[in-house]
Amino acid sequence: MKYSFLLFFLLPYLALSQVQLEWNANIDTELSRGGSDSHYFYNEIFRPDSSWRVDVPEMNLLAKLHIGAQWTFNARLQFIREQGRRPGIGKDLDRYELLIPLLNIEWEHPKERYKVTLGRFIHPFGSFNQRQLSTQRTFIGLPLAYSYFVNISNQVGFMEDMGEAFVRVNDLVLWGAPMLYGGGYTTGAKAKWVQKNGNSWDLALTTGAANLQEAFGNTLNWGAVVHYHTQPNYAWELGYSISIGSFMETSDAVAALTQPNRATQTLVGVDFQWGSGFWEIRGELIGAHYRVPYSTLQGDSTRTLQAVNERHTFLSLSAYTDVKYESPFLSGSFIAYRIDGLWFGSPPAEVAAFQNTYWDDRVLRHSLGIGYKILPYLLARLSVSTQSVDRRPWDRTQRTFRLMVTGHF
């Protein structure tokens, strides 16, 4: 196991300290349907599963081991469908993935002013990543910045129409990556400092940029993240984030690509939350700056990739806002609305092979959700969404219907 070496840090303390174990689990069961152009990389519904389908998309087991008053060992075991496919009940078990996305050891100052974390932990950029489990989220789907795959990948850099089915080189199918890894975890070291006024800083050194999914790859990638959280008054909470790092890997698809760790992604974000009475509003505004090479396809029958090693600048912007109302008449129920957008700048003038106005299609999504806590350990949520891609008329091709029931304890 990649992170099993962390256990050795615990051994001297297990015999000398008081040990306390906390653990909990959850399981999601979902009824879903998507439009005819659904895809996991567009709206989180895998295309063959776009008809009515009942499934178990995810199961989790979380553990927290307290070792004395200051040391904690954290772990999460996740059972999920590979590449976004939903795990079929009683079939296709070979497509399950058993992951350990969270595994770290933490030391906390006796007065809870400082905390240091080593291992794999929640990425500190923004506020959405802090809500990792279904029970912590208003909507079933992720915001576009965390789920919509764009025309920049960690294999070939920028390439036009990366998300379309015909981008295939021999047996290799090429996809892009979202602005931020939707799994929400990164690997490295993190320090948290809580000031006397309650404001806090998170600083992390990681093994890659915010859009990199794999903890370790065949390239020595690097990353750094800073997040500042403040609460000006009782109702408002604000956060400011910056992330910079490299994310590309050497690939058999592009043999000519050199120095992949010089390709970088920089994110700057603002997150906010306002709450008063039965109302809550929260969201994020994120700007992305990529400095990456670009690749083009050559040939018709036998396709090869041609890489251009010079780095070029690509800009994008994402924003979402969630508005939630909890009913005073039916305790445990809520209704919510999300507006979510993803916009792209003009492609660099040097990329002569690219003829479109923007380097990817702009997306605007509307989502409506309702939820009800049936029992203290049973939460039901329903979400519907529709989206417009690159100013095309609203249609049914990428709409979604998702009903999820989560059991947790």
pLDDT digits (tens, 9 = 90+) for 359-401: 898 999 999 999 999 999 999 999 999 998 876 667 678 899 9
Select the more confidently predicted residue: 252 or 317: 317
Of 152-166, 211-225, 290-304, 327-341, the range with the highest mean pLDDT is 327-341
Neighbours of 166 (CB within 10 A): 8
Residue 355 burial by Cβ neighbours in a 10 Å radius (0-12, 13-18, 19+):
exposed
pLDDT value for 19 = 84
Residue whose tokens read 């990389």? 41
Checking if the pLDDT of 188 tops 50, the result is yes
Which tens digit of pLDDT belongs to each residue from 313-322? 999 999 999 9
Checking if the pLDDT of 5 tops 50, the result is no
CA distance 386 to 282: 20
Give, in order, the Cα–Cα distances in Å from 248 to each of 253, 320, 381: 13, 27, 37
Select the more confidently predicted residue: 273 or 296: 273
CA distance 338 to 147: 15
pLDDT value for 167 = 57
pTM comes to: 0.88
pLDDT value for 255 = 60
High-pLDDT (> 90) share of the chain, % = 53
Which tens digit of pLDDT belongs to each residue from 119-147? 999 999 999 999 988 899 999 999 999 99
pLDDT value for 11 = 53
